[in-house]
C-alpha cells in the first residue's frame, strides 16, 4: 500500500503498513528492554544470587554511565549518516548486538559474579541507547503533520504494549512452565530464564528488521548544518527550549513511577498476595487496557486537549494505586487486586503512552528557534531523563527492600517487608504521579501554535531553496 502524502512539503501522511512498521520498533524494544526493566532485579536477587542493596547500587552505576553515553550517541547520530539513512540504520547496527547482550544478562553461568553482572548490564544499556536514541529521532523524521504524529504515536504505543503484554504475561508463564521445579524465583529456574530471553531476543531482532524495511526518513536536518552539531548543543538546547525542559522532567517522574511499580509487582504477587501463579495475569492486566484506550487517544486529544488528557488519566492511575494499597487481606481478595490493577493501568498507559507524541513537538519548536532539527540531541536528552527515571526505579526498590528487612528465599516475610513491597507498588508510584500532574500542567505548546511553527519552518526552507 503506497503512502498518501499531502501537497504541503514536510506534512506527509503515511500508510497503515508504514505506521505499523514504525511502531514495530517499539514492540521489539519492549520485548528486550522491558523484560530487563521489569524482571532483572527479581532475577538478580532470586536466581543469580546478588543482594538487593548490591543490585540497587549497580542499577545506579549503570544509569550514571548512561548520563555520559547518551549525549555522545545523540551528537554522533546527528553528525553522521549510515548507508541506510541518518537514524534507521541503527535498527540493525545496534539491534544485533543488543539481542546478544539481552541473552547474556539473563545467563547464570557466572552465578553471583558481580563483575559479570556489571559487564553485561552496562553493555546492554549502552547498546540500548545506540538503538533507542536514533529510533526516537526517526519518529520526528517521518513527517511534520501533527495529526499524523498523533496517529503514529498511538500506533507505536499500541505495538509497544503488544510487546509489553508478551513480557508481562509471557515471561512468568514461560519461565515457570519450563523450569524443572515449576517456579521462577530460585536458582533452579536459571536455564528457564535464559531460554525465555533467547526467544524474546530473537523475535525482537526479527521485528526490528521489519521496522527497518518500512521506514523512510523525510524530515531531517539539512546536510549543510550537520557538521555544526556539537556535544554542547545538548546543554544549550535544554536551556533555551522551555517545552523540552517540561517534557524532560515529566519523563523522569513517569519512568520512575513505572519502574518502581513494575519492579515491585513480582514481589507483591509472591510475598503479599501469595499467588505467584497469577503474576502473569496481574502483569497482563497492566497492559491489556492499552488495546481499548490507545486507539481512541487521538479523538480524546482533539476533544479535550493535551493537558486535560494527561491530567485526567493520571488521576485515574492514582485511584488505581490507592485501591491496591487499601485492599484488605489481598490473598483472599484477589479479584479486587486485579480490578485495581486494571484501573491503575488505564490511567498510566494513556498518559505515559501519549507523552512520546510531545517529543517531535519540542524538536520542531527548537528547529523554529534555531534553524537546526537536532533530533538525535533532543532524543538523547529525553533518554537521559527517562533513564534517570529508570535509575530511580532500579535503586529505590532495592533500598526499600533492604531497609524493610526483606530476605530472599524466606517462606514468610515480616510485616515490615510486606509494607515495603506495598510502598513499591502503590505509595511511591502514587507520589510520583502527583508530581507528574504538577509538571505536565506547565506544558503549554498548543496544537494551533505547533501548526504555525511547522508552516513557518517549511516556508523558510522554500525561500532558501531547500526542502526535505
Q: What is the dihedral of CA 25, 30, 31, 36, to 10 degrees?
A: 140
Q: What is the residue-wise DSSP string for 356-399?
A: GGHHHHHHHHHHHHHS---HHHHHHHHHHHHHHHHHHHHHHHHH
Q: Which of 315, 209, 263 is nearest to 423 (CA)?
A: 263
What local confidence, expressed as pLDDT, does residue 1 receive?
38
What local confidence, expressed as pLDDT, does residue 380 receive?
81
Which secondary structure element, helix H or strand E, spans residue 45, and what is its range? none
Alpha helices in 166-241 (DSSP H): 171-178, 190-214, 223-226, 233-240
Euclidean distance between CA atoms 204 and 24, whole angstroms = 9
What local confidence, expressed as pLDDT, does residue 86 receive?
86
Q: Are the CB atoms for 132 and 383 separated by under 8 Å?
A: yes
- Say which DSSP state 231 is in: T
What local confidence, expressed as pLDDT, does residue 422 receive?
93
Which residue has 546478588 as its cell numbers? Answer: 50
pLDDT in tens, the chain (468 residues): 344 444 355 677 889 999 999 999 999 999 988 888 788 888 998 899 998 888 888 888 888 888 889 889 988 888 888 889 889 999 999 999 999 999 999 999 898 899 999 999 999 999 999 999 899 888 878 888 878 888 888 898 889 889 988 887 889 889 999 999 888 888 899 999 999 999 999 999 999 999 999 998 887 656 555 566 677 777 888 888 999 999 999 999 998 898 888 888 888 888 889 888 888 788 888 888 888 888 888 889 889 988 999 999 999 999 999 999 999 998 899 999 999 999 999 999 888 888 888 988 998 898 888 878 777 888 888 878 877 787 777 678 888 988 998 887 777 888 899 899 999 999 999 999 999 999 999 999 988 898 899 889 888 877 766 444
Residue 135 burial (CB < 10 Å; 0-12/13-18/19+)? buried
Euclidean distance between CA atoms 338 and 275, whole angstroms = 12
How confident is the model over 130-140, as pLDDT tens digits? 999 899 888 87
What local confidence, expressed as pLDDT, does residue 2 receive?
40
What local confidence, expressed as pLDDT, does residue 223 receive?
58
- Say which DSSP state 355 is in: G
Query: In this structure, which CATH number among 1.10.3720.10, 3.30.390.50, 1.20.1090.10, 1.20.1250.20 belongs to the domain 16-215+231-458?
Result: 1.20.1250.20
Q: Which residues pair with 82 in a beta bridge?
A: 85
Neighbours of 109 (CB within 10 A): 9
Neighbours of 226 (CB within 10 A): 16
What local confidence, expressed as pLDDT, does residue 465 receive?
61
What local confidence, expressed as pLDDT, does residue 6 receive?
43
Three-class SS state of 12? strand
Three-class SS state of 82? strand
Euclidean distance between CA atoms 342 and 312, whole angstroms = 16
What local confidence, expressed as pLDDT, does residue 308 receive?
93
pTM of the model: 0.74
Q: Which residues pair with 85 in a beta bridge?
A: 82
Euclidean distance between CA atoms 54 and 45, whole angstroms = 9
What local confidence, expressed as pLDDT, does residue 448 receive?
87
Amino acid at each position: 500500500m503506497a503512502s498518501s502524502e499531502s501537497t504541503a512539503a514536510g506534512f506527509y501522511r503515511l500508510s497503515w503498513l508504514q505506521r505499523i512498521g514504525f511502531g514495530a520498533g517499539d514492540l521489539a524494544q519492549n520485548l528486550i528492554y522491558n523484560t530487563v526493566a521489569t524482571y532483572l532485579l527479581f532475577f538478580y536477587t532470586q536466581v543469580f544470587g546478588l543482594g538487593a542493596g548490591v543490585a540497587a547500587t549497580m542499577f545506579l552505576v549503570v544509569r550514571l554511565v548512561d548520563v555520559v553515553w547518551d549525549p555522545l550517541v545523540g551528537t554522533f547520530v546527528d553528525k553522521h549518516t549510515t548507508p541506510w539513512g541518518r537514524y534507521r540504520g541503527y535498527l540493525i547496527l545496534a539491534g544485533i548486538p543488543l539481542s546478544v547482550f539481552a541473552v547474556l544478562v539473563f545467563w547464570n553461568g557466572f552465578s553471583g559474579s558481580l563483575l559479570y553482572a556489571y559487564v553485561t548490564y552496562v553493555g546492554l544499556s549502552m547498546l540500548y541507547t545506540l538503538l533507542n536514541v536514533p529510533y526516537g529521532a526517526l519518529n520526528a523524521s517521518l513527517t511534520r503533520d501533527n495529526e499524523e504524529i498523533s496517529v503514529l504515536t498511538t500506533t507505536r504505543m499500541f505495538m509497544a504494549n503488544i510487546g509489553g503484554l508478551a513480557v508481562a504475561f509471557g515471561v512468568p508463564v514461560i519461565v515457570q512452565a519450563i523450569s524443572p521445579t515449576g517456579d521462577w524465583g530460585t536458582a533452579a529456574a536459571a536455564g528457564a530464564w535464559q531460554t525465555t530471553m533467547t526467544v524474546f531476543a530473537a523475535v525482537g531482532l526479527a521485528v526490528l528488521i521489519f521496522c527497518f524495511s518500512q521506514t523512510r526518513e523525510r524530515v531531517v536536518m539539512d546536510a549543510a548544518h550537520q557538521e555544526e552539531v556539537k556535544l554542547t548543543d545538548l546543554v544549550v538546547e535544554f536551556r533555551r527550549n522551555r517545552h523540552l525542559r517540561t517534557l524532560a522532567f515529566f519523563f523522569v517522574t513517569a519512568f520512575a513511577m513505572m519502574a518502581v511499580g513494575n519492579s515491585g509487582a513480582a514481589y507483591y504477587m509472591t510475598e503479599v498476595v501469595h499467588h505467584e501463579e497469577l503474576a502473569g495475569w496481574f502483569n497482563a492486566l497492566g497492559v491489556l487496557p492499552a488495546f481499548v484506550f490507545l486507539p481512541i487517544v487521538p479523538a480524546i486529544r482533539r476533544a479535550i486537549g493535551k493537558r486535560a488528557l494527561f491530567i485526567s488519566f493520571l488521576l485515574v492511575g492514582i485511584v488505581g494505586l490507592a485501591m491496591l494499597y487499601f485492599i484488605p487481606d489481598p490473598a483472599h481478595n484477589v479479584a479486587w487486586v486485579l480490578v485495581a490493577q486494571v484501573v491503575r493501568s488505564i490511567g498510566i498507559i494513556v498518559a505515559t503512552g501519549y507523552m512520546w507524541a510531545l517529543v517531535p513537538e519540542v524538536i520542531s519548536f527548537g528547529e523554529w528557534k534555531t534553524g537546526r532539527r537536532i533530533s538525535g540531541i533532543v532524543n538523547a536528552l529525553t533518554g537521559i531523563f527517562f533513564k534517570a527515571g529508570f535509575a530511580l526505579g532500579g535503586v529505590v526498590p532495592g533500598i526499600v527492600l533492604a531497609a524493610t528487612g526483606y530476605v530472599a528465599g524466606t517462606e514468610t516475610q515480616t510485616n515490615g517487608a510486606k509494607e515495603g513491597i506495598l510502598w513499591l507498588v502503590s505509595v511511591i508510584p502514587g507520589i510520583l504521579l502527583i508530581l507528574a500532574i504538577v509538571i505536565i500542567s506547565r506544558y503549554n505548546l498548543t496544537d494551533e501554535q505547533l501548526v504555525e511553527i511547522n508552516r513557518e519552518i517549511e516556508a523558510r526552507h522554500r525561500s532558501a531553496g531547500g526542502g526535505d
